[in-house]
Every structure is written in C-alpha cells, then in structure tokens.
Amino acid sequence: MQKQGTVIRWDATRAFGFIRSPDTSADVFFHVRDYRGSAAPREGLAVVYEEIHGGGKGPRAMAVQPMAQQGHAPQPRPSAKSPPQRARHEPAQRVTKPQTQRRRRPAANSGPPTHAGPALVLMLGWLALLAWGLWAGRLPWWVMSAAVAINLLTFLVYAIDKSAAQNGQWRTKESHLHLLSLAGGWPGAWFAQQWLRHKSRKLEFRAVYWTTVVLHCGALGAWVGGWLR
C-alpha cells in the first residue's frame, strides 16, 4: 500500500535513512537503492513509498520518491515583467563554490583511524603477555593460533552486521559481539569499529566493549602470573 511521509533522518555515508508517516507507528527504514528521486534524499523531504514488512526488523520503504515528482506540477510561464534570462543566471557563480565545498566534506571521514596510539600499545602488551605465557609454558601451544582465529572471526561478524544494518536485514545481537571481545577477539573488534565505522559512536556499546577488554586482559594476566592456579 502506498503511503506518504517525511524523511526525518538521512545518513549519506551509510546510504540509508528513515521516514516518519502518520499511518505507521514506527519510523520506516529505506536504502538509497530503493530511492527513485532525481536528487539525493534529505531530511524534511516529503515522499511517497510502498511499505513492506519482513524479517522481524520493522517496516521498510520501497520505491521511495519525492511527492513533487508524483504530481508533475507544470512549470510556471515567465510573465512579461520577468527579468531577462541572463540576469537570472548571474547569481549561479556565487553558489558554485559553496556547493563544491559541501560535497567534499564527507571525504574527511575516510582514511585510517585516529587516536589509535593507546589501543595499539594495549594490543602490543597483550601480544607480549601471550608470548611470555607460551615461552614460560603457562599457556598451551595452540593459544596463539586460537587468538588469531577469534580475531578474524570477530572482524568478519562485525562486517556482516554492518552490511545487515545497511540493507535492513537480520542483525547480530550486541551481546554476541561482546562475548567475542571477552573471548579474546577485542583487537579484531577494535579494528572493525575503526575501519568499518561500525559501533564506533554508540557510547553504551563502547563502554561495555572496553569493560570486556579490561576483564579479558585482567584474566589473562592473572592466569599467566599464576594467580588463578
């Protein structure tokens, strides 16, 4: 069924947003591939769409297009008192530069993670602790291979969850992501958060994540030091 609503959120970096409609109690998710407008979506844009439900993740909008395109309103004819066409085109030079600057701003978010020093130092200490435990015979030989495997798995799970978030598919529970970090996959989780830009801005998630890092490193240090034996 076709409905009308207003775009209340649009994330140009992740290419998805939400529509609010008086006919639906929850905000409706839509992806850029389901958008039919000639210009990019923006917040406050009135749209019409087809609403579907599936996967237990809430409503989703398909065939989203601006309401202005639905009506195909005729263009007003210029009156006799209208200024010449050349006068209308003169201000275009003034707005060209600001528009170019606004389009280039999102590129500043790309690139390697920043403020990585403390996290990388902690990872080096974690690797040194594992190596010392193996050398001293306080950890079994397979621990290092298991550490590499759990971190690769954690990075992959984060990547799958980010793809699911962008496409409106079934998401991975945050508790499962935290269990992977607690099991030793916290370095892989950190790289996924930074490089994939996933779960890197949610303060509640980040707080629990760093709690798992402290618990894992503390338990590993206690075991290698012989305090848990």
Architecture of domain 2-69: Beta Barrel (2.40)
Which of the four pLDDT bands, split at 50, 70 and 90, describes residue 83? low
- For 117, the enclosing helix (H) or strand (E) is helix 117-135
**pLDDT at residue 97, as a whole number:** 46
104-125: per-residue pLDDT in tens?
Answer: 444 444 444 546 778 888 899 8
**What's the predicted TM-score (pTM) here?**
0.49
Q: Where are the domains of the chain?
A: 2-69, 117-224
Cα–Cα separations (whole angstroms), residue 54 to 28, 61, 125, 158, 168: 12, 11, 46, 23, 10
Whether residue 5 contacts residue 50, with contact meaning beta carbons closer than 8 Å, is answered with no
135-162: per-residue pLDDT in tens?
Answer: 988 888 898 889 999 999 999 999 999 8
Comparing 85 with 205, the larger pLDDT belongs to 205
Query: What is d(CA 35, CA 62) in angstroms, rounded to the nearest whole number?
Result: 7
Residues 49-57 have a mean pLDDT of: 77
Which of 4-13, 76-85, 161-170 is predicted least confidently? 76-85
**pLDDT at residue 146, as a whole number:** 92
- Check the CA dihedral 172-60-34-9 and report its sign: negative
Instruction: State the helix-helix crossing angle for 203-224 and 186-195, rounded to 10 degrees.
Output: 150
Query: What is d(CA 27, CA 17) in angstroms, rounded to the nearest whole number?
Result: 10
Q: Which residues are paired to 65 by β-bridges?
A: 48
